[in-house]
Structure 1
Amino acid sequence: MESDELRIGTAEREEAARLLADHFGMGRITPDEYETRVTDAYAATTLGDLRPLFRDLPQPHPGFFGPPPPMYAQPTMYAQPTMQLPMYAPPMPDPYAPPAPVPYAPVPYSYRSKTVAGVLQIVLPFGAGRFYTGQIGLGLLQLFVVLMTGVGMIWPIVDGIMLLNNGGLDAQGRPLRP
């Protein structure tokens, strides 16, 4: 795999150019040498084209060159540790992508029926449908309004029609069965 005829890609060329920039920043090569070597690195097609660019430079060398030569194999007081970088980074998530859809979870229906609740409200207009759905507070309020005022009998009848038309919720917040 470490043959000089092995073809390289853009990632290897960019890693070589980055390491040459590091050597230039440390003063190991002149600006003219840097420009020539980077141009040669981007023009390289094989490992053999990149190796001469680093022959006279100390570590770090590109990680895809393989292990360092034997004279660097044993660490000394002045040797720089080498770190091999992965050739390809894992893909980053797209920050502009829409959020993933949330799977639909159906709400469980109540075991009580909207038809029974609506008919009870209309036939017994003093909150019987609301007592049936488990909404005791609303049922007591309708009972109180009907007993105190005769005109208040309209509210449970309209409420019964609304229950038959649109349905409603039981005391636990579940929709009434159709």
Structure 2
Amino acid sequence: MGSEELRIGTAEREEAARLLSDHFGMGRITPDEYETRVTDAYAATTLGDLRPLFRDLPPPHPGFFGPPSTPMPMSPPPYAQPTTQLPTYGPGPYAPPTPYAQPMPVGYSPRSKTVAGVLQIVLPFGVGRFYTGQTGLGVAQLFATFCTGVGILWPIIDGILLLVNGGTDAEGRPLRP
């Protein structure tokens, strides 16, 4: 089976549509062409269905098309002298010192689960969720608190769960302990 017959998924279709939107924004395709190409991109089932949509466009192309073909590197002529690389040394004696910063573990949010939990309990109308960047959930809790009598329990229980289990911020990173 050739690469043109490989089936694609939703992620590939959406990447193609996003890149076509970029080309449209740069004025490379007309509104009618854009509409036709995006419709064809969402209807595509194989890699071969998507390739023609980018054939007349400069990069960027979807990453799943594979790397662009690169010519074979030419070897130097036999009479060329090899160049020597000068050694590199560290910073000079008058270079400014490098700042030392305590690195945060990779993947953690700069927000604290303790602060988010306490805000949820003390101000039980979604303030902790606004703090974590989850504004949709914060608005839902705010609405539930002021529009229903029982809705005040939701943010309080959510605050306790944040304190015990932690949670995530708007980008999906775990909250700092």
TM-score, normalized by the shorter chain, greater than 0.5 = no
Over alpha carbons, which structure has the higher Rg? 1
Question: What TM-score range do you get, normalising by the shorter chain?
Answer: 0.3 to 0.5
